[in-house]
With several copies, the nearest count.
Chain A
């Protein structure tokens, strides 16, 4: 049986401009979560839940870390919750990044943009634990928006790109991805234009992209969150079949 759980807020802190990290306690989710999955959070007095990726877990402590940007009423309300509050959540939802066929020593490229970075951190930790060679390219709008740089550096070679050049390289993540490098697998999460550019640039590599879409149920029952695929089935559901899809499966 799937569960609706309550996650207790343990800590809330601002990591970057408008960017909040929450640590929440819930053993079940901490135990079950796979990199790439998300929780679907109820926000008091809002009809729809908000999907937020799992950025990190600590099984020993039974905690789950979420990182999000304040973009509207829901994320603002989540940012203002006081420690001790219980958040009603569904999860872990979605499929997660496929890892089982990767071998220790494989080279993996991680490409993240903005709030697409958090699920990639959970992923990078898992890859690192399995002994893979990680290279991360993380794009942000500006210096004030950068987060998790040192956290990624501990796991592999990490390059920061900012759109305005106020930190790291200037431009887009695609400017610094070198498609000549040996890559066994790439994983990307970020805004749609970034995913499309990465998909195009790395079309000869095997990769997986994680998508966002406005959701209703978050569990596959309402067909709100679809994405066109080039398979017979046509649309697939991001919340249930995704949020991670093979780069060559989706039509962007």
Chain B
């Protein structure tokens, strides 16, 4: 028997597999493909203080082994999410992680405050890859001071463990992780998307209406693995790893690099059954490489 159980702050998970934020909406669509109760956890789409319409279309483009997206945080607002989406997900009895976004620290605080009213949430994930409108649009997630402050402020009011989602668009990912740790975060999720662009040869303009979009999918996996490896060496917070996972072998690679659990994003679009398929395949893959549990594999690449 291979032990898939993973216990992280607020998250008691029967396996380390969860869908990544924004790639799973609030679960309704995937619940028509499989029983969501099989998942280790779920991460919901970003919630903001009020309803947001998001960006104009086109919002996605295909790239070599990846895709660009600029959805723009379209969501019905945190209150509606707590009211109608969380209860839907709660029936599956898996830990629910709420992804929290905002344009100001105050908006993050508002979202966290409203989430506090829910009895069905297990943890929150701070999406700090958002532009801070009060600081000229610099992303919270690319400035260690700003990241620290938003983490501290949310941590101070949230009754749930706080995971902070790191942006890979930085010179020094370790510095970001250390700021987050100092701010009192309970865990790290990484990586969010890399900023990219595609130009439409016919229109001669950026294809995505927002001009830039976030790159995800297998193309970014080597960057995710490198960053997780570096962060694992520097901080002691648990890490939920993501970025290009498509197979159970990929999951093992993330565990070895230092992830305690993983999230799967883009691959859901290609294969809506990827999460349950990986959950089914993982025990055999762990066994093949000599592990009897997920825990055993975590961080193994550091022990040479």
Answer whether A and B touch in the complex at a CB cut-off of 8 Å: yes
A224 near B69: Cβ-Cβ < 8 Å:
yes
Task: Give CA–CA (A224, B34) in the complex, Å.
Answer: 22
Which of A158-166, A199-207, A212-220 touches B?
A212-220
B272 near A224: Cβ-Cβ < 8 Å:
no
Additional A-B contact list (6), CB under 8 Å, known A2-B33, A4-B272, A47-B66: A1-B32, A213-B57, A216-B269, A220-B25, A220-B28, A226-B59
Please, which residues of chain B bring their CB within 8 A of the CB of A214? 57-61
Of the A-B pairs whose beta carbons lie under 8 Å apart in the complex, a sample of 27, sorted by A's number, is A1-B32, A2-B33, A4-B271, A42-B270, A47-B63, A47-B65, A47-B67, A47-B218, A47-B270, A49-B270, A214-B58, A216-B59, A217-B268, A217-B272, A219-B272, A220-B25, A220-B29, A221-B24, A221-B25, A223-B25, A223-B59, A223-B71, A224-B58, A224-B60, A225-B59, A226-B57, A227-B57
Majority SS at the chain A contact face: loop
Please, which residues of chain A bring their CB within 8 A of the CB of B65? 47
Within 8 A of B (CB), among A200-252: 213-227, 234-235, 240
Query: For this complex, into which size category does the number of interface residues on chain B fall?
Result: 35 or more
Q: Which partner residue on chain A sits nearest B246 by CB separation?
A: A47
A48 near B57: Cβ-Cβ < 8 Å:
no
B23 is an interface residue with CB less than 8 A from chain A: yes
Q: How far is the CB of A225 from chain B (nearest CB, A)?
A: 7
Q: How far is the CB of A56 from chain B (nearest CB, A)?
A: 26
Majority SS at the chain B contact face: loop
Q: How far is the CB of B243 from chain A (nearest CB, A)?
A: 14
Please, which residues of chain B bring their CB within 8 A of the CB of A49? 269-270
Within 8 A of A (CB), among B137-191: none
A47 near B266: Cβ-Cβ < 8 Å:
yes
Q: Which of A47, A226, A235, A240 lies at the interface centre, i.e. has the most chain B CB atoms within 10 A of its CB?
A: A47
B53 near A216: Cβ-Cβ < 8 Å:
no
A221 near B23: Cβ-Cβ < 8 Å:
yes
Please, which residues of chain A bring their CB within 8 A of the CB of B32? 1-2, 219
B269 near A1: Cβ-Cβ < 8 Å:
no
Q: How far is the CB of A192 from chain B (nearest CB, A)?
A: 11
Contact of B71 among A3, A46, A224 (CB under 8 A): A224
A224 near B59: Cβ-Cβ < 8 Å:
yes
List A residues at the B interface (Cβ < 8 Å): 1-4, 42, 46-49, 90, 213-227, 234-235, 240
B269 near A235: Cβ-Cβ < 8 Å:
no
Q: How far is the CB of A18 from chain B (nearest CB, A)?
A: 15
Please, which residues of chain B bring their CB within 8 A of the CB of A1? 32-34
Q: Which partner residue on chain B sits nearest A42 by CB separation?
A: B270
Task: Give CA–CA (A214, B60) in the complex, Å.
Answer: 6
Please, which residues of chain A bring their CB within 8 A of the CB of B271? 4, 42
Please, which residues of chain B bring their CB within 8 A of the CB of A215? 60
A216 near B67: Cβ-Cβ < 8 Å:
yes
A222 near B272: Cβ-Cβ < 8 Å:
no
Please, which residues of chain B bring their CB within 8 A of the CB of A47? 62-63, 65-67, 217-218, 266, 269-270
Task: Give CA–CA (A4, B45) in the complex, Å.
Answer: 23
B74 is an interface residue with CB less than 8 A from chain A: yes
Q: How far is the CB of A114 from chain B (nearest CB, A)?
A: 15
Task: Give CA–CA (A222, B20) in the complex, Å.
Answer: 11
Within 8 A of A (CB), among B169-217: 217
Q: How far is the CB of B70 from chain A (nearest CB, A)?
A: 9
Please, which residues of chain A bring their CB within 8 A of the CB of B272? 2, 4, 90, 217, 219
Task: Give CA–CA (A64, B51) in the complex, Å.
Answer: 40
B10 is an interface residue with CB less than 8 A from chain A: no
Task: Give CA–CA (A90, B32) in the complex, Å.
Answer: 12
Please, which residues of chain B bring their CB within 8 A of the CB of A218? 269
Q: How far is the CB of A229 from chain B (nearest CB, A)?
A: 11
B88 is an interface residue with CB less than 8 A from chain A: no
B90 is an interface residue with CB less than 8 A from chain A: no
